[in-house]
């Protein structure tokens, strides 16, 4: 269950990806267009190290406040660094402007320690700072080489051997070796704190060793098909083995932070900015933008204003209204991309624990497959896409969104549950839930049926869809009470609901979202924590799940995953309503090109990989659009005029008062 | 028998000392009450912090149990309560669930930002409110009075986020002939140092401060005006005028000090609120302060952070109320008796 779609989004990582048995060759380093972005010439480790004091000093702020008060009349003076084009000019970088890519974000960084961080922004930043063993092809999300150039399983399926690339360097110049990877995984297996964020990736590991600098060996307890999708940032052993208590290490005090990814973390201030500088020794080639800065806009409208003004070059999470407004803005491109998320209407199949005990109070009628089918037949998904999402979504069918083409499944014509209210009514009649004299369908107890629908109070889409469902179900003679709550977790975990809005972001490897419907995910006892999404427990589904997890042949595994979705669709516990789009916008007068994922038509923010920001190329001439701030001269002039006016008014007032006093 | 009547007691230094001791005790008791209330109040928020922290992530049942152990959520409530009180009294506010750093670090990180924003706004709106309020009352009923009172009431009723967004559209992006003068949000550009950094922060400070001042000055204005209006007809002012004092002297030396009591109390209560920041304005202008942090903490709920912030906010208000209480007898000796 995803109790809160606005909660911390899933870490971009999750599952595995079917390995390509003969490991694929590394893609050649990207050829940089001649003369565009001169890779940084500084030698590795040349970035000066500085240490940030641990805490702020309140008294300093008070003093600053007083100073600022004195400065208020001349506040018009702009920061000296704006050159009118929005580009930051730095004395360090010869005679051309430093090209900085500013991205508006709203989510706080929970930690810059990759062993602890779970939020989408933090894991995205870690993707840029630290290379994983493997990456995902931007075209179709297949696993491609990262730090590992090749990987293969043993014949008993229990040992995986990875070849670590020889040309990868840490940003301080030292080589990246298999020992760094072995240290990273072993630490997660032995230190509870280090397992905080990504511990689930190593639960099936028996042992990780590095027989040589370029060979990494992972021994498993049982076969696992997800071994090419280990989304674990590999950290430098020579730095991290000296950090002491990992739970206490924030990794944001000394800059630059040594990493192996396309960017190096060079500055951070909580809820203000995250500054990353292009890594000149990145094995795939340095990014073309000198700097990537994630800057904070907690309000969506303010972020859109910043984009229009040119203060930032990228915003994401746009509403339909914002997207439409920006579509006509010169110098701005709106990217309406297929999302990686699905939104479903889930039914409570009867909450139960692994010990067999039944709990909760889900309506008993929902255990009848005919009733579930009738409820789904009464939902017009096209209408929802059109009216609620205003076109910024795709009608839902299978469990895995279409952007993951390898695993996406669609029902055949004969299997599809169509929108057919008439047939839905007949199904309910057939199931014995007939209308009474008042036109209301009654349950076995003779009382009219009113279902309770769990809805997220913070999600306007939930509320809007809830109103449509109320209407459609009322026509069937069914009542629907929409319970919009700030926190739906408690009733959900207790099984005290009938229907619920359910949504998940899906990772390139679908193992995790499939696992939450297995019987093994049910809570051990009623009320105990469990991994189940919706209390579904179906032996046929479980059998398919076990087979796909142990299937090392990608095509065969994909076929099994599609069969699982087919089974899930037929049981009718989950009705996928829509796949909401990822709507974002960028300044095309700053960014000439950028890789989306999927490459054909995909999203930019929150990719499974570092493709977007690594591939972004600056527009030439850079920053032809609006600048980040008005010219300093104009501001100084305005400030001077303001000061003169204020001074003049004050002098007049004083003079007038004096004369008034004298008259008295 | 006249001789048996006790002589009226004169107010002495020791009387004020008792008054001060009483106020200090009251503040300490209030603080303790806040400490206890904070623990129970926030446990009424529905939701399991561990579930929230791991929401949307692949987590085993063992990991969930480990989280509970780590944060002491598996302990009985009374053990959690005694641990919390014991640590709080030694200045340890615990570790934030979501940021995994000491609560005190998160607070000291955001506190200066909030003090800068709300402190600057406080000084300005108090000064503006007092000045205009006194002026409006002294010329009560005139055009200036009606204009300022009307404007203050209007701005006081305006939602701060709406005004903030309006200011962003007009003065950040630029509208019509007005150029985009100020940044759309944040506290700094992040690429400046030294004096340029001070200017940069000041540049970012303008619009949020203007928003806060516009919305808040009305309250001070109305209280100051009403207090002075009550004094305006008093006989001692007629006496003062009869002595030949000029109008401005009558106002400053006699009327204003006597009308100061409610205004001073309001000013100190507002000063206590300065610490808490303002969630709406901080959100609209993406200001990295305590208000936004409190909102984030509540939505988890990140209990140690919520409790820590609640304690700091409450302590600031209690402290400032206490200061107001201690000052009032100095302004009006009748208060402390």
- Name the residue among A54, A267, A309 with its Cβ closest to that of B180: A309
The 3-state DSSP class for residue A68 equals helix
Q: Residue A449 phi/psi, 5° resolution?
A: -85, 125
Q: How many CB atoms lie within 10 A of CB A462?
A: 22
Check whether A354 has a pLDDT greater than 80: yes
The answer, for B178 touching chain A at a CB cutoff of 8 Å, is no
How confident is the model at residue B337, as a pLDDT? 59
Q: How many angstroms separate the CA atoms of A326 and B200, rounded? A: 28
Query: Considering only A229-238, A386-395, A467-476, B232-241, which range has the smallest mean pLDDT?
Result: B232-241
Interface with chain A: mutation pick from B189, B283, B287, B293, highest number of A CBs within 10 Å = B189
Residue with the larger pLDDT of the pair B5 and A343: A343
H/E run at residue A543: helix A539-550
How confident is the model at residue A19, as a pLDDT? 34
Is there a cis peptide before residue A256, judged by omega within 30 degrees of 0?
yes
Q: How many angstroms separate the CA atoms of A23 and A454, rounded? A: 46
**Can you tell me the ipTM of this complex?**
0.86
Query: Considering only A311-320, A445-454, A655-664, B206-215, which range has the smallest mean pLDDT?
Result: A655-664
How confident is the model at residue A626, as a pLDDT? 72
- pLDDT tier at A61 (50, 70, 90 boundaries)? very low
The answer, for B105 touching chain A at a CB cutoff of 8 Å, is yes
* Cβ contacts of B64 on chain A, cutoff 8 Å: 529
- Arithmetic mean of pLDDT, A108-119: 93
Residue with the larger pLDDT of the pair A34 and B152: B152
The two structure tokens encoding residue A511: 């193992």
Identify the sign of the CA torsion B123, B125, B126, B131. Answer: positive
The 3-state DSSP class for residue A347 equals strand
pLDDT digits (tens, 9 = 90+) for A568-577: 999 999 999 9
Look over chain A and give the mean of its residue pLDDT values, rounded to a whole number.
83
How confident is the model at residue A651, as a pLDDT? 56
Q: How many CB atoms lie within 10 A of CB A384?
A: 21
Query: Considering only A48-52, A169-173, A332-336, A561-565, which range has the smallest mean pLDDT?
Result: A48-52
How confident is the model at residue A3, as a pLDDT? 37
- Name the residue among A271, A303, A512 with its Cβ closest to that of B288: A271
Among chain B residues, the shortest Cα distance to A81 is held by: B192
The 3-state DSSP class for residue A650 equals helix
Helices of type H across chain B: 13-41, 49-54, 61-70, 77-89, 103-138, 143-157, 160-167, 194-232, 235-242, 247-249, 256-273, 279-284, 290-299, 303-331
Distance from CA of B76 to the nearest CA of A (A): 16
Among A340, A279, A392, smallest CA distance to A607 is for A340
Is there a cis peptide before residue A424, judged by omega within 30 degrees of 0?
no
Residue with the larger pLDDT of the pair A526 and A64: A526
CA angle at residue A153 from A150 to A158, to 5 degrees? 145
How confident is the model at residue A649, as a pLDDT? 60
Where b means 16+ CB within 10 Å and e means fewer, A154-192 reads eeebbebbbbbbeebbbbbebebbbbbbbbbbbbbbeeb
Per-residue pLDDT tens listing for chain B (337 residues): 444 555 555 444 567 888 889 999 999 999 999 999 888 888 887 767 777 777 656 666 777 777 788 788 888 888 989 988 888 888 899 999 889 899 999 999 999 999 999 999 999 999 999 999 999 998 878 899 999 999 999 999 999 999 999 999 999 998 888 888 999 999 998 888 899 999 999 999 999 999 999 999 999 999 999 999 988 888 888 888 888 888 888 888 888 888 888 888 889 888 988 888 788 999 999 999 999 899 888 877 888 999 999 999 999 999 999 998 888 888 777 776 5
Among chain B residues, the shortest Cα distance to A295 is held by: B186
CB contact under 8 A, A72 and B100: no
How confident is the model at residue B103, as a pLDDT? 95
CB contact under 8 A, A250 and B101: yes
pLDDT digits (tens, 9 = 90+) for A188-208: 999 988 988 888 899 899 999
Which strands, in side-by-side order, build the sheet including A314-316? A263-269, A273-278, A291-296, A100-105, A314-316, A582-587, A332-337
Q: At what angle do helices B303-331 and B103-138 cross, to 10 degrees?
A: 40
- pLDDT tier at A143 (50, 70, 90 boundaries)? very high
CB contact under 8 A, A80 and B199: yes
How confident is the model at residue A90, as a pLDDT? 36
CB contact under 8 A, A531 and B109: no
Query: How many CB pairs (< 8 A) connect A and B?
Result: 253
* Cβ contacts of A9 on chain B, cutoff 8 Å: 56
Check whether A609 has a pLDDT greater than 50: yes
How confident is the model at residue A168, as a pLDDT? 96
- Contact indicator for A596, A327 with CB cutoff of 8 Å: no
Interface with chain A: mutation pick from B100, B128, B178, highest number of A CBs within 10 Å = B100
Check whether A183 has a pLDDT greater than 60: yes
Helices of type H across B233-289: 235-242, 247-249, 256-273, 279-284
How confident is the model at residue A23, as a pLDDT? 35
How confident is the model at residue A655, as a pLDDT? 55
Rg of chain A (C-alpha set):
29
* Cβ contacts of B282 on chain A, cutoff 8 Å: 298
H/E run at residue A159: strand A159-164
Its pTM stands at 0.84
Among A562, A631, A620, A649, smallest CA distance to A33 is for A620
Check whether A386 has a pLDDT greater than 60: yes
Among chain B residues, the shortest Cα distance to A503 is held by: B56
Query: Considering only A355-359, A543-547, A591-595, B232-236, which range has the smallest mean pLDDT?
Result: B232-236
How confident is the model at residue A40, as a pLDDT? 34
Q: How many angstroms separate the CA atoms of B246 and A280, rounded? A: 76
The 3-state DSSP class for residue A591 equals strand
Distance from CA of A190 to the nearest CA of B (A): 13
CA distances to A640, A645, B123, B124, B209 from A70, rounded to whole Å, are 14, 16, 12, 11, 14
C-alpha distance across the termini of chain A, in Å: 78
How confident is the model at residue B256, as a pLDDT? 86
Residue ranges with strand state E in A356-465: 393-395, 450-456
- Contact indicator for A547, A560 with CB cutoff of 8 Å: yes
* Cβ contacts of B116 on chain A, cutoff 8 Å: 61, 64-65, 68
How confident is the model at residue B1, as a pLDDT? 44
Interface with chain B: mutation pick from A64, A268, A633, highest number of B CBs within 10 Å = A64
Contacts of B94 (CB under 8 A, 6+ apart): B84, B87, B102, B103, B304, B307, B308
Question: What is the per-residue DSSP string for B34-57?
Answer: HHHHHHHHGGGS-S-HHHHHHTTS
Residue with the larger pLDDT of the pair A137 and A44: A137
Among B28, B31, B87, B32, smallest CA distance to B303 is for B87
- Name the residue among B50, B59, B285 with its Cβ closest to that of A200: B59
Interface with chain A: mutation pick from B45, B54, B55, B56, highest number of A CBs within 10 Å = B56
- pLDDT tier at A323 (50, 70, 90 boundaries)? very high
Pick left, alpha or beta for residue A601 (phi over 0 → left; psi -120 to 50 → alpha; otherwise beta). Answer: beta
Percent of chain A surpassing pLDDT 70:
79
The answer, for B187 touching chain A at a CB cutoff of 8 Å, is yes
The answer, for B60 touching chain A at a CB cutoff of 8 Å, is yes
CA distances to A181, A193, A203, B124, B179 from A189, rounded to whole Å, are 12, 10, 7, 56, 57
How confident is the model at residue A29, as a pLDDT? 39
- Residue written as token pair 């304690």: B311
The answer, for B74 touching chain A at a CB cutoff of 8 Å, is no
Helices of type H across A72-214: 120-129, 178-190
């Amino acid at each position: 269950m995803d109790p809160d779609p606005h909660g911390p989004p899933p870490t971009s990582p999750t599952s595995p990806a079917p390995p390509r048995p003969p490991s694929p060759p590394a893609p050649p380093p990207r050829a940089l267009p001649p003369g565009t972005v001169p890779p940084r010439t500084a030698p590795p480790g040349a970035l000066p190290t500085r240490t940030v004091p641990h805490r702020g000093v309140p008294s300093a702020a008070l003093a600053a406040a007083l100073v600022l008060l004195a400065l208020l009349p001349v506040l018009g003076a702009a920061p000296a660094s704006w050159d009118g084009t929005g580009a930051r000019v730095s004395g360090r970088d010869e005679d051309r402007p430093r090209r900085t890519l500013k991205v508006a974000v709203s989510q706080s960084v929970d930690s810059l320690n990759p062993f602890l961080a779970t939020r989408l922004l933090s894991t995205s930043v870690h993707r840029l700072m630290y290379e994983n063993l493997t990456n995902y092809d931007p075209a179709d999300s297949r696993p491609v080489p990262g730090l590992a150039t090749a990987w293969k399983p043993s014949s008993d399926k229990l040992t995986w051997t990875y070849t670590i690339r020889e040309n990868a360097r840490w940003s301080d110049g030292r080589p990246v070796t298999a020992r760094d990877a072995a240290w990273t995984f072993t630490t997660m297996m032995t230190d509870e704190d280090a397992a905080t964020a990504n511990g689930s990736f190593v639960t099936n590991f028996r042992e990780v060793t590095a027989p040589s600098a370029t060979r990494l060996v992972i021994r498993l307890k049982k076969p696992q098909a997800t071994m090419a999708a280990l989304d674990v940032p590999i950290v430098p052993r020579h730095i991290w083995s000296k950090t002491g208590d990992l739970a206490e290490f924030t990794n944001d005090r000394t800059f630059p932070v040594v990493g192996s990814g396309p960017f190096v973390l060079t500055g951070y201030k909580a809820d203000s900015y995250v500054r990353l500088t292009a890594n000149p020794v990145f094995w795939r080639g340095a990014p073309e933008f000198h700097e990537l800065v994630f800057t904070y806009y907690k309000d969506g409208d303010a972020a859109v204003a910043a984009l229009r003004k040119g203060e930032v070059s990228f915003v994401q999470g746009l509403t339909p209204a914002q997207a439409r407004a920006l579509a006509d803005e010169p110098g701005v491109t709106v990217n309406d991309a297929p999302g990686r998320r699905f939104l479903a209407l889930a039914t409570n199949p009867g909450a139960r624990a692994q010990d067999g005990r039944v709990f909760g109070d889900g309506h008993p009628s929902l255990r009848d497959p005919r009733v579930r089918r009738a409820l789904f037949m009464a939902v017009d998904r096209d209408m929802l896409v059109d009216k609620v999402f205003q076109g910024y979504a795709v009608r839902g069918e299978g469990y895995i969104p279409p952007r993951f083409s390898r695993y996406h499944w669609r029902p055949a014509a004969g299997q599809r549950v169509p929108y057919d209210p008439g047939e839905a009514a007949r199904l309910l009649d057939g199931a014995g839930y007939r209308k009474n004299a008042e036109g209301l369908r009654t349950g076995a107890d003779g009382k009219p049926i009113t279902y309770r629908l769990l809805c997220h109070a913070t999600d306007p889409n939930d509320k809007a869809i809830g109103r449509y469902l109320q209407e459609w179900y009322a026509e069937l003679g069914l009542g629907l009470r929409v319970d919009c709550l700030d926190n739906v977790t408690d009733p959900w975990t207790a099984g005290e609901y009938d229907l619920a809005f359910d949504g998940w972001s899906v990772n390139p490897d679908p193992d995790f979202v499939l696992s939450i419907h297995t019987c093994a995910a049910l809570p051990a006892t009623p009320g105990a924590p469990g991994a189940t999404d919706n209390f579904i427990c179906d032996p046929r589904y479980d059998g398919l799940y076990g087979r796909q997890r142990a299937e090392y042949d990608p095509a065969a595994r994909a076929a099994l995953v599609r069969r699982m979705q087919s089974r899930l669709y037929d049981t009718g516990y989950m009705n996928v309503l829509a796949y909401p789009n990822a709507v974002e916008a960028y300044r095309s007068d700053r960014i000439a090109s950028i890789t989306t994922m999927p490459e054909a038509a995909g999203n930019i923010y929150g990719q499974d990989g570092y493709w977007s920001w690594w591939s972004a190329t600056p527009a030439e001439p850079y920053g032809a659009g609006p600048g980040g701030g008005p010219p300093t001269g104009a501001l100084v002039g305005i400030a001077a005029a303001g000061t003169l006016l204020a001074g003049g008014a004050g002098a007049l007032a004083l003079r007038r008062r004096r004369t008034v006093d004298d008259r008295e | 028998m006249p001789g048996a009547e006790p002589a009226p007691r004169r107010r002495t230094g020791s009387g004020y000392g008792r008054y001060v001791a009483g106020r200090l005790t009251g503040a300490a008791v209030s603080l303790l009450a806040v400490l206890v209330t904070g623990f129970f109040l926030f446990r009424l928020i529905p939701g399991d912090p561990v579930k929230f922290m791991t929401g949307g992530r692949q987590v085993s049942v063992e990991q969930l149990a480990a989280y509970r152990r780590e944060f002491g959520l598996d302990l009985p409530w009374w053990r959690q309560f005694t641990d919390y009180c014991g640590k709080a009294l030694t200045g340890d506010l615990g570790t934030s669930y979501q940021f995994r750093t000491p609560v005190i670090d998160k607070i000291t990180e955001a506190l200066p930002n909030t003090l800068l924003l709300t402190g600057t706004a406080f000084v300005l709106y108090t000064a503006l409110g007092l000045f205009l309020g006194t002026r409006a009352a002294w010329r009560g009923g005139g055009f200036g009075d009606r204009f300022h009172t009307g404007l203050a009431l209007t701005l006081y009723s305006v939602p701060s986020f709406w005004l903030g967004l309006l200011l962003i559209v007009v003065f950040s992006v630029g509208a019509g002939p007005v150029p985009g003068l100020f940044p759309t949000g944040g506290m700094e550009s992040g690429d400046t140092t030294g004096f340029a950094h001070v200017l940069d922060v000041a540049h970012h400070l303008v619009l949020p401060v203007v928003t806060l001042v516009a919305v808040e000055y009305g309250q001070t204005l109305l209280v100051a005006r009403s207090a002075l209006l009550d004094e305006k007809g008093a006989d001692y002012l007629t006496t003062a005028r009869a002595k030949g004092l000029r109008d401005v002297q009558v106002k400053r030396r006699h009327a204003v000090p006597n009308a100061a009591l409610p205004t001073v109390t309001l000013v100190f209560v507002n000063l206590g609120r300065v610490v808490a920041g303002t969630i709406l304005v901080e959100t609209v202008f993406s200001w990295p302060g305590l208000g936004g942090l409190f909102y984030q903490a509540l939505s988890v709920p990140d209990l140690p952070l919520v409790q820590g912030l609640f304690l700091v906010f409450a302590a600031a208000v209690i402290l400032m109320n206490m200061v107001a209480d201690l000052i009032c007898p100095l302004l009006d000796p009748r208060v402390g008796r």
